[in-house]
Amino acid sequence: MSGGALQGIRVLDLTSVVMGPVATQFFADYGADVVKIEPPEGDLLRTLGGKSVTPKMASKFLHMNRNKRSVVLDLKQPAARGALKRLCAGADVLVVNMRAAALKRLGLGYDELRAANGKLVYCSLVGFGQSGRYAAKPAYDTIIQGSAGVAACHARSTGTPRYTPMVMADHIVGLIAVQMVLLALYQRKSSGAGQHIEVPMFENMAAFVMCEHMYLRTFDPPLGATGDPRVLEPEARPLPTADGFICVSANTDKQAFAFFDAVGRPELKADRRFESVAARFENVRDYFEVRAQSLRSKTTGEWLELLERADVPCMPYHTFESLLDDPHLREVGMFERVAHPTEGAIWNIALPNRLASGARSDYRPAPKLGQHTREVLGEAGLSEKEIEDLEAGSPPAGKTSREAR
C-alpha cells in the first residue's frame, strides 16, 4: 500500500510532456495509484529531455513521472481502446491532453467513458477553451506564453518580448488542474457522480497575467494604462554588489527605512519621494535606482549580514549550480540521492510541502516504458491471451504518434 492522503484513488494519466505529468505526479506523490498510459514510442519527454543513461529515460521525465506505473497501449487499435475503457471502469480520474477531435475519433470522449463509469472525473487539459474560436488550435508552453501576455511582461520591462526560460505555463496550469480534480472528487462525495473538467492553458495564463497587469484598466472608465509599474520596473531584479548579486525587497515603511539606515542614507526617510508606501509606488523608478546604486560598495555576504540584522528581507542570488548547494535546502532534504533500478544513482527533488500524514510511504522511481503493462491490465481483468494479443498488435516504437493537445 502506498499510504498518503490519496491512497485508494486511481488516476489514469493519458498525458505527455509537462503539464499533464506535473498534475498527475502530484496525485502519485500523495498516494494515488497513477497509471501512465503511453503510446508504443512513449511520452515525448522521454527523449525531448536530453541525454539519459538508458534510452528514453531523460532527466526531466524522471523528475515528472515518479511514483507512476507505465502501460503501453496503441490507442489506434480497437483492442487497446477497449482495454482503456476497462481500465476506466475501475478508475476515479482520467487526465487527458489529447485534442478533443482526436479523442472523439477514438471514441474516448467524456460521454463514451461516462457510460462505463458514472463516477469518473474526466479532466481535459486543453490549449484553449472549447467554446471559443481557438478551440482546435494546438498549444505548447511557448505558444501560450506569447499569446497570453507572459512574453509581453518582458517586453514592457526590457523592451524585448521573451519567453520565460522554463515551461512556466505548463507547470502553473498543471497545478491548477490538480485543484480542479480535487474539487471534483470532493463534490463526488456528496453527489455520487463524476464530471467533465476543462482546464485551458490560454485562459488560465491570461488570467494569471492580467490580474496583475490589468492595473488601471480595471476601472471603467479607465484610471490609466495597463501594467503594474512596480513589477515591470527594469531595476526589479537581483541587484549588483561588489562581488555578485543580492535579492532585496523592502516594501513596508519599516523595511524601507531600515534599508536606508543600513546603506548609510538615513536622510532618505524624510524624502517626500520615499516617505510612504504610496510615495515609493509613485516614484518607483527613483526608489529602485537608489537600491541598485547603494549596494555596489560591499560584498553580498556583507550586505546579507547588515540587512538581516536590520530585518530587511534579503537572500543571496542563486545560479542553478549554487542552488543545488544551498545550505537551507540541504538541511530540509530538498535534493535526495536515490537509486534508480536502470539509471543508477540520481538526484530526486523531494516534496517541498509537508503534510504530516499525507505523502506516500513508498517510493516508485519513474518507470521504464511499458514496465507495468501486464500487471495493470491483469488487475483490470484482461486475460493472458488478451494481453498477449494487445502486445502483438502494437507496432514497433517510433511508428505511431499521439496527437498534440
Our separate counts of H helices and E strands in the chain read 19, 11
pLDDT interval class at 369 (50, 70, 90): very high
* Residue at 277: amino acid letter: V
Chain-centre distance for alpha carbon 18: 7
- The answer to which of 17-26, 79-88, 244-253, 355-364 has the lowest mean pLDDT is 355-364
Backbone angles phi, psi at 336, to 5 degrees: -120, 135
pTM: 0.94
Mean pLDDT of the chain: 95
Q: What is the pLDDT of residues 381-397, one digit of tens each?
A: 999 999 999 998 876 55
Q: What is the pLDDT of residues 220-240, one digit of tens each?
A: 999 999 999 999 999 999 999
CB distance 81 to 108 below 8 Å: yes
| CA 32/CA 5 separation, integer angstroms | 8
pLDDT interval class at 358 (50, 70, 90): confident
Buried b (16+ CB within 10 A) or exposed e, 41-79: bbbbbbbebeebeeebbbbbbbbbbbbbbbbbbbbbbeb
Which domains are delineated in the chain?
Answer: 10-208+352-393 (3.40.50.10540), 239-316 (3.30.1540.10)
